[in-house]
């Protein structure tokens, strides 16, 4: 068996995953999620040093108009945010490197990330659909959360189907002279 690396430019799905990981690392995990950790009460707070005021206002506008659970911030919700900040954030940084460089060792961690992400998003969406803080704008909220279902499924498919996800595997044909 021979392994030939597949260049990143020939892996468009991986490029999309890298962009997703970058957006999640910089914007979602360490801006939006931090807002939810540093502001416990959205009705009575002072603007924190981080994230920027404009982002706090954007998150609160979105929550007030479309996503009540984001504003209520029950304990289970904050737990998912802590998981995102403590575990997913570092994963995104490592995954960006591994997907760019085509490192097979990311496979196991990527499967774990995708599984936990799908679990968290299922719990969140169940609340959005049928919970105490159900969304009055369900279609909008489902669309806003679709990427966190779609991309983990893509990662599971990419990483599950091959132990060498960044390589072409070919058979080596040995011929011997007799």
Query: For residue 169, what pLDDT is reported?
Result: 87
Rounded mean pLDDT of the chain?
95
The pLDDT confidence band at residue 171, using thresholds 50, 70 and 90, is confident
Neighbours of 53 (CB within 10 A): 9
Is 56's pLDDT higher than 70? yes
| Mean pLDDT across 9-32 | 98
**7 in a domain, yes or no?**
no
Query: For residue 173, what pLDDT is reported?
Result: 62
The pLDDT confidence band at residue 7, using thresholds 50, 70 and 90, is very high
**116 in a domain, yes or no?**
yes
Is 74's pLDDT higher than 60? yes
Total number of residues shown for the chain: 178
**27 in a domain, yes or no?**
yes
The residue ranges of DSSP E strands in the chain, in sequence order, are 2-5, 167-170
Q: pLDDT, tens digit, for every residue of 94-130?
A: 999 999 999 999 999 999 999 999 999 999 999 999 9
**48 in a domain, yes or no?**
yes
**103 in a domain, yes or no?**
yes
Domain that holds residue 156: 20-163
For the chain, the domain total comes to 1
Query: For residue 81, what pLDDT is reported?
Result: 97
Which residues make Cβ contacts (< 8 Å) with residue 136, sequence separation at least 6?
A: 66, 68
**151 in a domain, yes or no?**
yes
**9 in a domain, yes or no?**
no
Query: What is the value of pTM for the model shown?
Result: 0.92
What secondary structure letter does DSSP report for 85?
A: I
**127 in a domain, yes or no?**
yes
């Amino acid at each position: 068996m021979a392994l030939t690396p597949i260049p990143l430019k020939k892996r468009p799905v991986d490029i999309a995953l890298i962009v997703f990981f970058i957006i999640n690392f910089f914007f979602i995990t360490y801006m939006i999620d931090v807002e939810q950790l540093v502001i416990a009460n959205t009705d009575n707070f002072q603007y924190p040093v981080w994230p920027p005021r404009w982002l706090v206002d954007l998150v609160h506008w979105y929550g007030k108009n479309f996503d009540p659970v984001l504003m209520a911030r029950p304990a289970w919700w904050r737990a998912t945010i802590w998981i995102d900040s403590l575990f997913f954030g570092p994963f995104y940084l490592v995954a960006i490197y591994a997907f760019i460089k085509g490192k097979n060792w990311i496979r196991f961690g990527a499967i774990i990330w995708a599984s936990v992400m799908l679990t968290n998003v299922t719990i969140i969406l169940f609340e959005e659909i049928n919970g105490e803080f159900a969304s009055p704008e369900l279609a909008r909220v489902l669309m806003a959360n679709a990427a966190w279902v779609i991309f983990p499924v893509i990662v599971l498919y990419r990483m599950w189907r091959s132990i060498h996800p960044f390589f072409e595997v070919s058979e080596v044909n040995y011929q011997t002279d007799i």
